[in-house]
């Protein structure tokens, strides 16, 4: 029989274990420009920062955890539909073709209608406050009540992305608990 101190320690240990298992289940995919190469490196550093916060199932499309399955475009659409959290990163220097296509898919595809709340759009503003997004894209994000986060530099991006992941993790907690119980056969 446990005394109350032992029960409390066991409860805390079990809670900590479940928290780690839930974080392991949260699939986070980061989208953005791979050109120039410095932009791809920025995304990889963001992935590492998120992983260091205890979310190991985070990757870019084409990474080890999110391999290309049928070309880059089809892979991106697949991961947009299946990831628990999608972070779309728009920067001032990066080429925007790919991530613009991904945003358009999120905004206009009927398949993504129920999954828009799984997405956050990060928008680097320039020193003169110009957005990396078009005015129409910004208006569409507001109209659809999608999460749109502005950032100025790498530190801002990391801080805001990590905060967003923590918030989306909390929102998905029940869903993740049900998935964990299904995996455990409970």
Does the model's pTM come out above 0.75? yes
Question: CATH number for the 27-173 domain, one of 3.40.50.450, 3.30.70.270, 3.40.50.300, 1.20.1640.10?
Answer: 3.40.50.450
pLDDT digit string, tens, across residues 8-50: 787 777 788 999 999 999 999 999 999 999 999 999 999 999 9
What's the pLDDT tens digit per position in 88-143? 999 998 888 889 999 999 999 999 999 999 999 999 998 787 889 999 999 999 99
Q: What is the pLDDT of residue 20?
A: 94
Q: Residue 1 pLDDT more than 70?
A: no
Residue 105, C-beta contacts closer than 8 angstroms, at least 6 positions apart: 76, 77, 80, 112
Q: List the chain domain ranges.
A: 27-173
Q: How many CB atoms lie within 10 A of CB 18?
A: 13
Task: Give DSSP secondary structure letters for 131-145.
Answer: -SS-HHHHHHHHHTT
């Amino acid at each position: 029989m446990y005394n109350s101190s032992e029960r409390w320690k066991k409860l805390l240990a079990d809670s900590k274990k479940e928290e780690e298992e839930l974080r392991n289940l949260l699939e986070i995919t980061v989208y953005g420009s791979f050109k120039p190469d410095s932009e791809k490196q920025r995304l990889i550093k963001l992935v590492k920062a998120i992983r260091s916060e205890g979310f190991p199932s985070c990757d870019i499309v084409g990474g080890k955890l999110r391999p290309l399955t049928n070309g880059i475009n089809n892979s991106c659409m697949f991961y947009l539909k299946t990831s628990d959290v999608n972070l779309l990163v728009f920067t001032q220097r990066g080429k925007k073709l790919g991530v613009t296509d991904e945003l358009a898919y999120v905004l206009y595809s009927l398949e993504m209608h129920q999954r828009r709340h799984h997405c956050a759009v990060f928008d680097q503003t320039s020193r003169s406050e110009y957005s990396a997004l078009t005015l129409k894209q910004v208006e569409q994000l507001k109209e659809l009540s999608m999460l749109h986060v502005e950032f100025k530099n790498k530190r801002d991006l990391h801080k805001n992305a990590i905060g967003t992941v923590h918030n989306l993790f909390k929102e998905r907690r029940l869903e993740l608990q049900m998935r964990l119980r299904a995996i455990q056969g409970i």
